[in-house]
Structure 1
């Protein structure tokens, strides 16, 4: 089946299941925008812009850690950067400034605003902060936003990286003061990786942050590569061979691999083979004939209780995957739209 048609049908299914909002929904809208661009589909682009027009007033918003979600977050900032919604300039700037003033820990990392005294930081924020500030900065020609996009990513990658294997932990201070979660969670590594992916993809060529962004991108790419499963997935606990295969993190990693290959930052032979195996596996084992998604874990921020909180055991036994989990759709759309750019125009199940 046509790769972009698969992406659109996945979004259609997601739209039937729930109102699309929050960070995972906005990632899906972003994926739909990239799908429209990959196929040069003007009608699909019009649909994307109509979806964005519902924000903020026609959406029933829950409480958000980052208020830019109210206007469409990453999706609106990207559409603005690309010149599709020039009327959004004031909104984009307002919420970029809000993010610039949001609470930070003593190292300058954005922290959970609801409990500032606990200094709760988590890698998921790399996806929340970096693309929005980066796209806003490019679109508004505001260097401060671009600088902070790079700064937040580098600070989080440095803070959460396990020097023994190069993979990322999810969070710090949730288990106790100064303590990291023990995990190397699939989607958590994907959240850090997508921030690096957007930096290497969109930082201006002359940017003083480009060299480090490319270096960090290659390093995380290499750290994840040995752990791909035979079916093309990365596992919920990436280095643990008995953990289940997890699709949302896999989709984010494949998106990054595709971008890295397209930009010439990753070795074509090694990463090209991993990208192809992953795209095929994600479609064959992650998408049903009805365009449901499989194998995505639910949200899990430092799961577990007592002594098991934040342990590998908690990550692989408590947040179990299920069909049509709402974090999955955006990562699938990003992976498949990027696959199309690489010439994978048809996906097959055998």
Structure 2
């Protein structure tokens, strides 16, 4: 009896101690990343890339040859423009202008492409057009022509993979805001809704888990090794980024603004309990053992989405600030190398196994989009108050 009492006594003490510790951690003040340090790490990673790619027109050579206005490079320039807006260095502007001029402000594979990956470069063209006070309409002529050609048809099923949402949705909403024409907002929603509710049979969004299947190849009955659904980290990161950008440009009076906002909030809520102890997210959000480990791109996009929401007053700061700060600090500590190289970046693909195994010093098949994701995150973390 004495032993049982003693054991019970210690159990109460330990349980009370654990509870107090957890409460202290919960109530602990979150220290915001130092602004100068955020800027320094963004500048360092970006400078590494600019030094490596001084010629903005140079083709990208891998398994085949790609022009440098493909989607991977376009995502980098999204990040560069975001950095420029908080750190307006002329060299950033000049680098982006050189890229746009070298591609004649045109989309990959021409003016009338319907492929979201080929359209992604248009986001930066639109940004540069606005940065210069909308004085040069020829800069957005081709982007507008491509979107108008899509609107001229009834076809709305082009976004059959969720990455496409980030590549193309912001183009529609930017054009809607710039031109004041409702047709861009309307078509944006029609295409988003088809992806959400119809692709893959019943849509690529699972309202139960509040996450997205990457494409029809991953809807049930497809399962991860542990029996869970497959939710790819970076794929869901693309959707978070797409929704953040869509919310930024879509008027609150728009008929579909509230749905975008709900989907955005629901996704972020679903991500919080999935964060790893070290601050990263795994490549497989519901199976931490399927190529489990640190991964930078999905983590950076989640940080971007959460920081954006806090900066705009869309989400609860007390809930999300500790999560995003932990993730940001983890990337700075473990991903960013002294020379600016970004490690733990998963290469191109569409599921957890692609580009594996990852490592801090492994160069992915494309270095540009990972940096773009990181710079998007850095720009919003910098704005935190």
TM-score when normalising by structure 1: 0.79
Partners of 1:57 and 1:201 in 2: CA distance: 24
CA contact (8 A) 2:114 2:146 kept: no
SS in 1 for 2:206: coil
**Which residue does 1:146 correspond to in 2?**
185
The match for 1:93 among 121, 126, 144 is 144
Query: 1:233 and 2:280 equivalent?
Result: yes
- Listed one character per residue, the Cα deviations across residues 161-188 of structure 1 (whole Å, up to 9, x for unaligned) are 234421211011x479x97684200100
- Listed one character per residue, the Cα deviations across residues 268-312 of structure 1 (whole Å, up to 9, x for unaligned) are 11101111111111111111111111111111135xxxxxxxxxx
CA contact (8 A) 2:114 2:158 kept: no
Partners of 1:250 and 1:216 in 2: CA distance: 19
**Which residue does 1:44 correspond to in 2?**
92
**Which residue does 1:297 correspond to in 2?**
346
Change (3 A) 1:224 1:44: same
Unpaired runs of at least 5, structure 2: 1-35, 59-67, 198-202, 224-228
Partners of 1:196 and 1:285 in 2: CA distance: 28
CA contact (8 A) 1:126 1:152 kept: no
Q: How does 1:249-288 map to 2 (within 5 A)?
A: 249-288=298-337
Partners of 1:271 and 1:233 in 2: CA distance: 14
SS in 1 for 2:129: helix
Partners of 1:154 and 1:190 in 2: CA distance: 18
Report deviation, 1:329. 1.0
CA contact (8 A) 1:29 1:48 kept: yes
Unpaired runs of at least 5, structure 1: 112-120, 303-314, 344-350
Whichever of the two has the greater Rg, that structure is 2
- Listed one character per residue, the Cα deviations across residues 108-167 of structure 1 (whole Å, up to 9, x for unaligned) are 3315xxxxxxxxx21111112201111122222221112222333344344222344212
Q: How does 1:128-143 map to 2 (within 5 A)?
A: 128-143=167-182
**Which residue does 1:23 correspond to in 2?**
71
Partners of 2:86 and 2:142 in 1: CA distance: 27
CA contact (8 A) 2:232 2:350 kept: no
**Which residue does 2:61 correspond to in 1?**
none
Q: How does 1:1-350 map to 2 (within 5 A)?
A: 2-17=37-52, 19=58, 20-42=68-90, 44-56=92-104, 66=115, 69=118, 72-82=121-131, 83=133, 85-100=136-151, 104=155, 108-111=156-159, 121-158=160-197, 159-172=203-216, 174=217, 182-242=229-289, 243-301=292-350, 315-316=352-353, 319-321=356-358, 323-325=362-364, 326=367, 327-343=369-385
Partners of 1:81 and 1:133 in 2: CA distance: 15
CA contact (8 A) 2:126 2:140 kept: no
Q: Which moved more, 1:277-286 or 1:317-326?
A: 317-326
Report deviation, 1:238. 1.1
TM-score when normalising by structure 2: 0.73
Corresponding pairs, count: 316
CA contact (8 A) 1:233 1:250 kept: yes
